Structure 1
Amino acid sequence: MRYRTIGTDPATRREVSVLSLGAMLFGSATDEATSYAILDRYVEAGGTFIDTSDNYAFWMDGSQGGQSEELLGRWRRSRGIGSEIVIATKLGARPLAPGTSYLDNAEGLSAKVIRESAERSRDRLGVERLDLLYAHIEDRTVPLTETVEGFAELVAEGTVGLLGASNHRAWRVERARALAAAAGLPGYEVLQYHRSYLPNRTDLVSELDPDGEPGGVGGDLLSYLRAEPALTLVAYSPLLKGAFTRADKPLSPAYDLPSAPRRLAALREVAGQTGATVNQVVLAWLLGGDLPSIPLVGASSVAQLEESLAAVDLDLTAEQRHRLDTTW
């Protein structure tokens, strides 16, 4: 395994594995025994960065979520896991009532919600401090200053370490960070967005942003990240839910761009040269390059996890990376 540091403050920054494990469906679609086996193998391989959310997986049974955090809490206790494993969670998109959705009934990002939701997440996970806490989706009904101050209060109290944002427009991230800096408060240091080798269309309306900007990494955010090297990008759904390799998982219309067939051909070509799988090439591409990302991978079996773990040691040559980068 390889590692990198996230965060800049010596009091809160952490060293984490360059491959993060997503626990979205642990405790729901992925049963407890299988979830434990995947988690155990990830840790055995040197993995130290696990991702969840307070609303996972509300859509499975019409609940408010929390199943993933609860399972991780049970696993931590059963294995004696302590602070050596960094667990990131999110708040803001938990439905306020069973049978509803974050699309029309999200908890939001008020100071009250931030405090109460973070406390519930700590209880479910069985930790005194949340290592990394994300604002899951935007909440434009609450003044941004209130959200910034609400998160900062928890950091000051020691119940939260690092702060992050997911699925926010780039200008909203920058405004929040500017407000925090002006007030001498901690701001967002880790950004979690969808990123993969295939770019996604920006003309499709996203569930996360009815105004039309998707949760994926767009040009504005990429430019912002390149200008702010202290920020860390965590890339979720890098393998497109199996669409790169599985015939039963066709590509979403979100990737229906003229460049898609050419980029898929480039992936297959490099995979053939390296002896790696297409999925492993995608992960290796994300791990390196001019904007290194931390891929956030899901797994429903240990075998799937093994494939992703092997990508950490796949070093693409300069020529292979050039082929991937310049194919459009």
Structure 2
Amino acid sequence: MQKSIQLKKRPVGTPTLEDFNQVDVAIPEPSEGEVLVRTVYISVDPYLRGRMNEGKSYVPPFQLNDVISSGVVGQVETSKSEHFSEGDVVIGTLGWQEYNLANEKTIRKIDHTQAPASAYLSILGMTGLTAYFGLLDIGKPQAGEMVVVSGAAGAVGSVVGQLAKIKGARVVGIVGSDEKANLIKNKFGFDEAINYKTENVGDALAKVCPNGIDVYFENVGGEIGDAVFPLLNNFARIPVCGAISAYNKSSADIGPRVQGYLIKTSSLMQGFTVGNYAPRFKEGADALAEWLKEGKLTYEETITEGFDHTIDAFLDLFKGANVGKAIVKVSDIQQ
């Protein structure tokens, strides 16, 4: 038997432990073309909150009393696939459980000797790719421009800031603590940091962006996003990656209307998901890996030890407890 985490009921507002069930289920046996994967790392991400609601979105909602899934790095225990051998380290979208049955077409091998296996869930995985395509395809920062990033100490935001610096832009990050402010400046190279819990974001932005804002990478929404719009320059670009401030609201998030600002400045505001760029994932991963190897990129991970703490790690996302990518370590890679 193995442990598995299921969605017990659809959360109302911020999720709680009572919305989940940890149950024991049988370890499956692979059939032809399948492998049994032992979970090593589980990715916990804010977007999973949206999948816990019923209704149409860009990905189907989780079903009640069914296993929750996300990015998982694991090691092949048993293989009935000619493409995978026992001991291979793989990545895919798999269940929050200790073992997963995977079709050979739904996983891929990773080389954990070139970078830590967990990095394939962060800087070399979906979060790194989200930053890469969102900023460079939509934001298009130019040398000398002003880029502002909300959620700047998170898995996506921290990479966005570094990519903007690589492109020669000046970068301001908005974070929720002085510790994170110091981190994004000292480790990730942001030029300025604003602590939204202790500063008036609009006033602080006006001070550090005296010539306006050219690119705003949106991870948070709400009042933080509202503070940016009056400072937009002509032809500003706003990639909308997330709106975590509203994920746990039970009613529509109402705020200032943005249309006037966009019209006056001829600005582009575009929502996206990383899945839009699936045909170009190799391009993004290769570029990120090269910058990482050159020392132009670095990353942070908040790793929670133990499968039994997976739900806690997910709930901590909504408390701002993580720095960089939030990951749960379930087991070790066997050499």
Q: Which structure: larger Rg?
A: 2
Which structure carries more relative contact order (alpha carbon 8 Å, separation 6+)? 2
Query: More strand per residue: 1 or 2?
Result: 2
More helix per residue: 1
